Chains A and B, each alone.
Chain A
Amino acid sequence: MQTTAATLVDQLSALLGHDRVLAAAEDVAVYAYDGTPVLRQNPACVVFPITTEEVAACVKIAAANQTPIVTRGSGTGLSGGSVPLVGSMVLCLARMNRVLEVDPRNLTIDVEAGVVTATVEETAARYGLFYPPDPGSRKISTIGGNVAENSGGLRGLKYGVTRDYVMGLEAVLATGEVVWLGNKCVKDVAGYNLRDLFIGSEGTLGIVTRVLLKLLPLPQARQTMLASFTSIEAAGETVSDIIAAKIIPCTLEFLDQQTLRCVEQFAHVGLPTEAAAILIMETDGHPAVVAEESAAMAKIAARRGAIEVRTAADAADAERLLTARRSAFSALARVRPTTILEDVTVPRSELAGMVGFIAATAAKYRLSIGTFGHMGDGNLHPTFLADERDEDEMHRVEQALSEIVDRTLAVGGTITGEHGVGLAKKPYLRQQLGDHSYQLLKLVKRALDPHGLLNPGKIFDCLQE
């Protein structure tokens, strides 16, 4: 083991130079985690390639040393997708961060995997263009990580998720071969849609090194509103009514009292801390449509008993509200040391029932919980507030989680809407997929990565069974 690690590091250092291969105790300890609470495992080493060729060469060296590869961007994932495996090589793409091309004639942007999501959005905006997917960690998450996890965000309701914007990608396979999948064409049915196979594959099928993204025209107008309610149900019914009224706002975010209080403590944006729940609603597009839709949404909220509907004064005010919402998960960590985040998603017709079930389950197991989420998408983030050193409490969290998963699946939902399976949701995947499609996943994995080199043990255990 010791000699293998030494050889591996020597070979990698010969390729990249000593300053781009880290193996000291202080260096590997800080790559033991991503944004997922509790999970921790030191890798054998961390490498920082800056070209696709270097990535391919690193993969070949790792393959020759039978070293598992864990690809990582900024390490903000929430399912443990980039948490290292024992003896693994972490392939960090944070330095492959060039924007290669913006093509306003075809509405595309071509970027390396390590480009930060917010940079994509800001670069596009300089051309009057729009990259909608906006995961909570957009200021630091990388586009490669977004593609690997098929990240969502606050605008999923109207604009969809990362997958809906990927027109092409470059990937390094387990063999070290490089493939380019996709192009700038709006239509393309040549062969299997292999590009989509890699999106959301969590680094288990290949290493995404470059992405060609679709852009939209920047919406002309935008209106953001904050509605507060005396009950969670009223907020939920407001969402249902908005959808039923055939309005598709770009954002319909929900925060319960526990969550909004934590967020307010951090962000000081004037959230109504006495409200039982709030909705942050945003519509964008043509000014006339925006005016009409925001008036209609305010009316629906009022009819459902909203205490107050506040309209953001200007773009900066709106941005403050949305930024505050993006901090929800981390802000909940103010209450207890360990935050266990869920990502259950249900058909929207089942939302109100699900929200109630979550609250009842937390009460049943005497657990503190904060719930927030993309209500317009049916995507909820119930977050248990616990202490990992309290074994009894952690056991109760597990029991509650398991019941929430059962209920989610019973109503036709999914265990993860946007965070990925990784390690955190792995125990529940089989239950959701049923035997055949679960086996199909493994068949695909074995075809592309027969030796289990790429992020093995994430999503499912590949080699046993």
Chain B
Amino acid sequence: MPEPNLLKSLDYSVLQQCMHCGMCLPTCPTYDATKFERSSPRGRIRLMREIADDRLQVSPAFAEEMSYCLGCLACQTACPAGVDYATLFENARAEVERSGVASTPPRRLIRWITMSVLFRRPRLLRLFGRLLWLYQRLGVQRAVRTLGVPRLLPKRLERLESMAPTVRAPFSNQRIQPQELPAGGEPRYKVALLTGCVQDLLYANINRATADVLLANGCQVFTPPVQYCCGSLHAHNGELELARDLARRNLDMFPVAELDAIITNAGGCGSHLKKFAHLLGDDPAYRERAARWDAKVFDIHEWLVRIGIRPPQNLVRPPAAGSPQTIAYDASCHLLHGQRVARQPLEVLRLIPSATLVPLAESDWCCGAAGVYTLTQPEQSAKLLARKLDHIAASGATILATGNPGCLLQLETAMRNDPRLAQVRVCHPVELLADAYAAENP
């Protein structure tokens, strides 16, 4: 018996929820770019419904449209009817994979290496990270580039090589002990810290800062040294079964009942981590555990505000002379639209002594990073990035803060090469907070 079409087996009321009022259109970056209805949220939902109703087949055009969608979920925030676009979108992309309309041998290979191998085996991923680090650290990369080797590679690999981010060893397990206790007194809360995959290889320092901030707020922090990917990469890219497998592994790894909270500092991961119960809704063995897990997953900003964040004491030494520091906050789409964590990062940033928050136009608009969108849709990604950089430049901020590694990487890489923004510090809000706590005791 052939597997059922995923869009047909979806609860039809989810599709029906969209009453095509069009309120989502002005918030959709791809509709804004094309003004074509099929590149809009309601257009995409209509295409899915046409497939569910057997009026359209899953075609390469449908696959392209699903790939062109950023999955930024701005439409979900805008939707008065409460359409669950994230679920529709994940199932549509999974259906594209299941149908094979977009499948080519190189694509299959890349997807297999990344999603089935690297991002399912944490030790292997770290080994890969370590090799990449050596490649970059020992001057091999410079030598290879000077010799023009990348130009000999196929176009796509050449681009990958040029975009390979700088790996920052040591990784989280060498920076954070499996168990850390806050200084002085009984801990107020017991929390687990999720170290992520990309975050671990590129921004382990942010994980350290997150642990520090949690400790400073009276939390005992459990950080398993080897952790599984949360599966958001898989779920957003049409591999729902792999995502389910990873969700189960995560549920097996953490003693959910003994924890007050499970903390994530990556907006994209958090958006997925809070939906395990939905993902495993058909799995009786895990369903209830997943629901308990979902209720305990918090983004770091959300958790800090919830428990009553301790404002850092003003600096013992006066702020350095010179121009004052200003922070612009760019919201991670999945933190803002996926998790609806909007005000908490701003509340955290307002507590930073010696720096003031300045407004950033379109801070609720995608920067073009969108997971692997930079690789899959480089042209549209670049357009959104350029638009974002203009706004950052116009804000005049000296610090740009955002709460997701994908966004950090996209913005940091581009800003280093933009003369207007080369001097602007790019960081996660918790880094600023950790610095402020550290400065309390000079």
Contacts and interface: CB of A to CB of B under 8 A. Distances in A.
Interface of A: 22, 24-27, 29-35, 37, 48, 74-76, 94-95, 116, 137, 139-141, 263, 265-267, 327-331, 333-334, 337-339
B19 A32 contact: no
B80 A327 contact: yes
A420 to B, nearest CB: 16
A448 B162 CA distance: 62
B47 A75 contact: no
Contacts of B20: 33-35, 37, 75
Interface string B5-46: 000000001001101111101100000000111101011001
Given A334-B81, A337-B13, 19 more contacts: A26-B47, A27-B36, A27-B37, A30-B37, A33-B20, A48-B35, A74-B25, A75-B37, A140-B23, A140-B25, A140-B26, A267-B80, A327-B80, A330-B19, A331-B82, A333-B19, A333-B21, A333-B82, A334-B80
A139 B24 CA distance: 10
Interface stretch (B55-63, B142-150, B346-354): B55-63
A330 B26 contact: no
A248 to B, nearest CB: 29
A316 B82 CA distance: 23
Contact of A30 (B13, B16, B46, B82): B46
B50 interface: yes
B80 A26 contact: no
B39 to A, nearest CB: 9
A29 B16 contact: no
Contacts of A334: 17, 80-82
B35 A333 contact: no
B97 interface: no
Contact of A32 (B17, B22, B46, B82): B46
A428 B323 CA distance: 69
A26 B56 contact: yes
A345 B234 CA distance: 52
11 contacts: A22-B36, A25-B56, A33-B20, A34-B20, A75-B37, A116-B26, A137-B23, A263-B80, A327-B80, A330-B80, A333-B19
A1 to B, nearest CB: 19
Nearest to A90: B37
B23 A330 contact: yes
A37 B46 contact: no
A296 B92 CA distance: 55
A94 B25 CA distance: 12
A29 B22 contact: no
B81 A26 contact: no
Contacts of A265: 82
Interface string B280-318: 000000000000000000000000000000000000000
Contacts of B65: 26
B79 interface: yes
Interface string B224-238: 000000000000000
Interface residues of B, number: 30
Contacts of A267: 80
A31 B22 contact: no
A333 B38 contact: no
Given A74-B25, A137-B22, A327-B23, A333 B81 contact: yes
A452 to B, nearest CB: 26
A80 B65 CA distance: 26
Interface of B: 13, 16-17, 19-23, 25-26, 35-38, 40, 42-43, 46-47, 50, 55-56, 59, 61-62, 65, 79-82
B96 to A, nearest CB: 13
A338 B16 CA distance: 8
A330 B25 CA distance: 14
A13 to B, nearest CB: 16
A329 B37 contact: no
B425 to A, nearest CB: 30
A30 B17 contact: no
A25 B19 CA distance: 21
A139 B26 contact: yes
A322 to B, nearest CB: 14
Contacts of A333: 17, 19, 21, 80-82
Contacts of A31: 37
A263 B23 CA distance: 14
Contacts of A32: 46
Contacts of A328: 80
Contact of A76 (B17, B22, B61, B79): B22
B26 A29 contact: no
Contacts of B19: 35, 37, 330, 333, 338-339
B82 A266 contact: yes
Smallest CB-CB A-B distances: 5 pairs: A330-B80, A333-B81, A327-B80, A30-B43, A337-B16
B21 A35 contact: yes
User: Max chain B CB contacts within 10 Å: which of A94, A333, A338?
Assistant: A333
A37 B13 CA distance: 14
A321 B366 CA distance: 26
The interface centre, meaning the residue of A26, A34, A329, A334 with most chain B CB atoms within 10 A of its CB, is A26
A31 B39 CA distance: 12
Which of A34, A140, A267 has the most B CB atoms < 10 Å from its CB? Answer: A140
Given A26-B56, A140-B26, A330 B13 contact: no
B372 to A, nearest CB: 23
Contacts of B82: 265-266, 331, 333-334
Contacts of A116: 26
A265 B13 CA distance: 18
A253 to B, nearest CB: 15
Contacts of A266: 79-80, 82
Contacts of B47: 26, 29-30
Contact of A330 (B43, B50, B56, B79): B79
B103 to A, nearest CB: 19
Nearest to A22: B36
B46 A330 contact: no
B22 A74 contact: yes
A298 B82 CA distance: 33
Nearest to A75: B22
Nearest to A95: B35
Contacts of B26: 116, 139-140
A339 B20 CA distance: 11
A94 B56 CA distance: 26
B48 to A, nearest CB: 11
A333 B23 CA distance: 13
Contacts of B42: 30
A175 B21 CA distance: 33
Nearest to B43: A30
A331 B61 CA distance: 31
B50 A29 contact: yes
Contacts of B17: 333-334, 337
A24 B80 contact: no
B62 A331 contact: no
B47 to A, nearest CB: 6
A338 B81 CA distance: 11
A84 B37 CA distance: 14
Contacts of B80: 263, 266-267, 327-331, 333-334
A33 B49 CA distance: 13
B23 A27 contact: no
Contacts of A30: 37-38, 40, 42-43, 46-47
A24 B61 CA distance: 9
Interface centre among B22, B38, B55, B61 (most CB of A within 10 A): B22
B362 to A, nearest CB: 14
A26 B21 contact: no
A116 B22 CA distance: 13
B194 to A, nearest CB: 28
Contacts of A24: 61
A231 B61 CA distance: 53
Nearest to A116: B26
B190 to A, nearest CB: 31
A24 B16 CA distance: 24
Contacts of A35: 19-22
